[in-house]
Structure 1
Amino acid sequence: MSVAKSRIAALAALAAVTLPAASLAGATAAQAAPVRAVPGYQTWQADVEQAVAPVIPWLQNRLGKGVEKPAIVLDIDNTALETYYHAGRANGPVLNVARWAEEHGVAVLFVTARTSSASARQQLEDAGYPVDAVCTRDHGESKGEGKARCREELTGDGYTITANIGNRSTDFEGGYFEKGFKLPDYNGQLS
């Protein structure tokens, strides 16, 4: 099997575990598609809006079932913040989800591959995000390992991570969340 085919197979297996079934076909098709330039801002925003549209209905359903200490986890770069397009600016559709969560008693947690929580927290607060916790990757950890460790620690603190929102496969590695919502990364071009 070629390296490209084995990478596609590995990503398809990951998507089957971490993403809703409806997203599986799109995720594998996107991985097989040829690499294209990062789209313009308006296209990205439309794609983000489509990806997060099911989050609030999902949260409403979970809250209706009496989940204890519910939380959402957000990745930072090119998820919560428009790092590629407008450094430091909030990604509007994701900010709307975070604000809805805060208004309904759902903790807003951030898990990032960054290694400094102080600067990350400040950027997020400056962009208008409610921030209940920020967990960063330790030096020497891979992105996926660090993010999985963070979610495990947050779960150990009593949070029920009902929704995990990110734009890279590493945002979903290792579990410790109920449902993943993947934003576009355009074949890895938005890190």
Structure 2
Amino acid sequence: MQLSLASKRARIAAAGAALAVGAGLYTAGAASAEHSVPRTDKEIPNLTKVTDKIKAYYGDTTDKNGQHYASPDSNYAKQVADIQKKAKAQLEKAVKNQSGKNRAGGKGAAKPAIVLDVDDTTLLTYNYELQQGFHFTPESQDAYLKSTDMAPVFGMPQLVNWAQSKGITVFYVTGRDEHQRDWSVRNLKNAGYKPAADTAHFFLKNKKTPPAYLPCGATCNTVEYKAGTRKHIESQGYRIIGNFGDQYSDLQGGYAQHTYKLPNPMYFLP
């Protein structure tokens, strides 16, 4: 996902704080989750130590070219697996309930669907973040996406493909820009996602010609854009039984029966 310049700075500055809060590194009187101004340096987690914590959490491994990747045996992967187990059980129950409603309601009943964010929900940005030293820029993201496929988030292709096999329609809703569509579609396919990321099922931000169904147009914040897009999806006859994202802003705003927050200590997007 992409944000304004100010938000991008907030993303970088929040990377350390987000992990430190989650890991309990702050002591009494430390800066709050709302990023209040520290009174002393002791309230600020050491950036090198935070980076080391992040790498340990993802089970950092390097290939022969010195590129960094997360490990499937990491605590990150284990946490994601626990979330997916819960999600699968809830989705299966929702499909059964939906089937009953469909039988009772006939052809007009809503069709079950799930919505997925892309970065750190379906595709893992860990290698890109390490390459950039957790310093996101639109230019570096473009260069990376154009030439490199991100690895899938552990277990997510299997969960998503299973959902499709159960008759659940899959939609991708990302804050990536429209000009990154082809690179993103290629990556999702190569990462093992079977549901088509076509124009009817893959929504990217389009600030040049924003869709009419978004009242905020080109000025939408993340919550407005994503909730507005989910509302549009439901207006097409779907019921979103699961909404997956790594940021709370991916999940807020309604239009989903269940929400699933995947872990991401690398950055924070309001």
Q: State whether structure 2 residue 22 is matched by structure 1 residue 30.
A: yes
Deviation at 1:171, TM superposition (A): 0.6
In the superposition, the TM-score normalised over structure 1's length comes to: 0.75
- Counterpart residue number, 2:262: 183
Pairs within 5 Å for 1:1-191: 30=22, 34=26, 36-37=50-51, 38=54, 39-40=57-58, 41=70, 42-66=74-98, 68-85=110-127, 87-116=149-178, 117-132=181-196, 133-139=201-207, 140=218, 141-186=220-265, 189=267
The separation in 2 between residues aligned to 1:162 and 1:182, in whole angstroms, is: 14
| Cα 1:156/1:119, change in 2 over 3 Å | farther
Query: How many residue pairs end up in the alignment?
Result: 162
C-alpha displacement at 1:119, in angstroms?
3.0
Counterpart in 1 of 2:63? Answer: none
Letter in 2 for 1:178: Q
One-letter amino acid matched to 1:50: D
How far residue 176 of structure 1 moved from its aligned partner, in angstroms, is: 0.7
Aligned sequence identity (%)? 25
Comparing 112-121 and 156-165, the one that deviates more: 112-121
Give the match's secondary structure for 1:121: helix
Give the alignment's TM-score, normalised by structure 2. Answer: 0.54
RMSD: 2.3
Paired residue secondary structure (2:77):
helix
For 2:75 and 2:127, locate their aligned partners in 1 and report how far apart those are by CA, in whole Å: 12
CA contact (8 A) 1:72 1:108 kept: yes
Query: What runs of 5+ residues in structure 1 fail to find an aligned partner?
Result: 1-28
Contact 1:137 1:143 in 2 (8 A): no
Could you tell me which residue of structure 2 aligns to residue 10 of structure 1? none
- C-alpha spacing 1:134/1:32, structure 2 compared with 1 (3 Å): farther
In structure 2, how many angstroms separate the alpha carbons of the residues matched to 1:103 and 1:145?
31
